[in-house]
Chain A
Amino acid sequence: MSTLLDVKDLVVRFYTQEGTVYAVNGVSFELEEGETLGIVGESGSGKSVSCLALMGLIPSPPGKVEAGTVMFEGRDLLTLKPDQMRLIRGKEIAMIFQDPMTSLNPVLTIGTQITESLKLHEGMNTSQSRKRAADLLDMVGIPDAYRRLDDYPHQFSGGMRQRVMIAMGLSCNPKLLIADEPTTALDVTIQAQIIELVKQLKDEFNMAMIWITHDLGVVAGIADRIQVMYGGRIMESGTSNEVFRDSRHPYTVGLLGSLPRLDSSGEEKLTQIEGSPPDMRNEPAGCPFAPRCDVREYLQLEKCWDQRPPLENVPDADGGSMHIMSCWADIREGVAENV
């Protein structure tokens, strides 16, 4: 397998009236063809902004991509002109957004909205594109698809609207699909339907996928690799098994400990991470998690405050392991039971 996407040292800032927001502070990651990457983080961790940046969708002003490269099939997306980018967006890289109500245009029929990219990118005429649109709707499980092309978004339920969004995303057989919290606005039974659908379509289309979410449970089932973000930086990254079962970063450990599990009775107290997420208007000099980190407190590490830990292989990683993290401490040094 070859590398499809290579993001290096991405920095995104927003210059607002209340000051500069340091949204993404040096993010690097790669994506193989056909791979599913789960990006996990809380609100304000920079997970959505870094993906909007590689799509060229950062509103400017106030936003600005300050540094970094995004190599996609040999080209740096950040240096492309708007009309070159437009040929890639929707065709090579497609995106599904969180809220299917606000991301569909309420005054256009869904037929119009799906056929738009087919006409633009594939040069189809009206009847060809309508036929293809109906096939796509059928594929994502919308009954009576041809007739429903003339319906408006409000005539669909939330789950159905998300299916329409997926059909739009897949319309031009993209190589990469970015799904930004696609199931967050949906109920769990509908979420399960959508996840099942996306899994099946991903294999069918042989796409690579980035699934952005704050729900660790959702990515555990679908992602090959997980990347945990906090304060605009990557904290830990590795295969699902490595990140979930051999977590090494204090933030990942804390986050997993604070989640109750459906499959165990909840007698023990949840371990909580003290404090609140960082104010992104101050650029942290050191590790963004330092103020809330109990490992730092236990080990009395001073350099966490003013030196950024590099993103490196975890100590004692297997040969060829992709398991990397950004932390000065080794959580296994007898501290695990003390904190």
Chain B
Amino acid sequence: MSSPAMAIDKRKTNTEDDNILEVTALKKHFPISSGIVFQRQVGAVRAVDGVSFNVIRGETLGLVGESGCGKSTTGRTILQLYRPTEGSVKFEGQELSTMTGNDLRQMRRRMQIIFQDPFASLNPRMTVGSIVSEPLQIHKMYANKKERQQYVEQLMEKVGLNPYFINRYPHEFSGGQRQRIGIARALALQPSFIVADEPISALDVSIQAQVVNLMEELQDELNLTYLFIAHDLSMVRHICDRVAVMYLGKIVELGPVDEVYENPQHPYTQALLSAVPVPDPVVEENRQRIIISGDLPNPASPPTGCNFNTRCPVAFDLCYQEPDPPLIEVRPDHFVSCHRVT
């Protein structure tokens, strides 16, 4: 039995692609402490609890799941915005989890993040120009102020903002334009890898397509690799090449996007996909919904056995006794972690 990372490795060496990112057994536990003077740890929220995957250069990997499943934490832990509790994150062959200080700061040139909320992630007291040029100043990319400003204007044009607005403040822009500012800031250092943490979920429907199209154009033009974190499964199918489905801190299914959507193997993926409404009354009428009961368990005290056993419609003895099985390749590049499948 091969691990998912290895199997994709093998296939990809043949086609001369390479992995830009390799995540192995990554864990991020947030401590719960108690006591006022003498703090002691009484438990941990297992936000990310052992995920392994890789991202191939030039692709878009979707990371989907419901709120609280650990998808955003995974993205931030990869960028070392949270330091991992365990496990390894290799970016372009270099181990990030042990890297600190200036070394890490240098790596940040090549990996950036676009945040979800374009209202909260831009400093209201900075002009667009200073927001976009701040990374350039920190990394001392342009010695001369004039050149830097020219470059910022180019960037603004590239993301569809009028450079004339360089001295305006974020509140003077609409949500979609603000997200473009966030994208320009992420692109400023010419990264090769971008974590997009729900970049469109705060935007109006008619604006979402604009931002997604922009992200796709930039990807082609600049050969970017995206980790696209989202809960909108329809958009993930549109934009992503491969998708990883997370539940309670673990990846339950991983594979090429059309394969997973047309042939979901894990009962959670099946339920999740069947719950997404389709804007077509005829399709809606003929759909069979799998409604799973209950809510997401508390990640501080996950159930014994498989994480999904509290809501799973097809759980049997083994699911309550044995922890979730490792990801197993059921079809080429399609991995599932389920006792029913093995």
- Could you tell me which A residues sit within 8 Å of B by CB distance? 42-43, 157-160, 187-193, 195-196, 214-218, 220-221, 240-241, 244-245, 254-256, 258-263, 265-266, 269-274, 276-277, 292
Contact = CB atoms under 8 A, between A and B. Distances in A.
A220 B284 contact: yes
A196 B295 contact: no
Contact of B205 (A191, A195, A259): A259
Given A191-B275, A221-B277, A262-B273, A272 B209 contact: yes
A214 B275 contact: no
A259 B204 CA distance: 11
Given A157-B295, A245-B280, A277-B204, A188 B66 contact: yes
Interface residues of B, number: 47
Given A187-B66, A192-B289, A196-B289, A276 B280 contact: no
Interface of B: 66-67, 174, 176-177, 204-210, 212-213, 216, 231, 233-235, 237-239, 257-258, 261, 271-285, 287, 289, 291-293, 295-296
B293 A271 contact: no
For A191, A244, A266, which residue has the most chain B Cβ atoms within 10 angstroms? A266
Contacts of A216: 205, 279
Given A158-B295, A262-B237, 12 more contacts: A188-B276, A195-B277, A215-B205, A217-B278, A217-B284, A220-B277, A220-B283, A245-B280, A255-B206, A258-B209, A261-B279, A266-B239
B204 A188 contact: no
A190 B295 contact: yes
Contacts of B257: 265
A189 B271 contact: yes
Contacts of A192: 274-275, 289, 291
Contacts of B208: 258
Contacts of B206: 42, 254-255, 258, 272-273, 277, 292
A259 B276 contact: no
Contacts of B66: 187-190
Given A217-B279, A220-B280, A276 B174 contact: yes
B284 A259 contact: no
A157 B294 CA distance: 10
A265 B237 contact: yes
Contact of B276 (A217, A240, A254, A265): A217
B177 A272 contact: no
Contacts of A42: 204-206
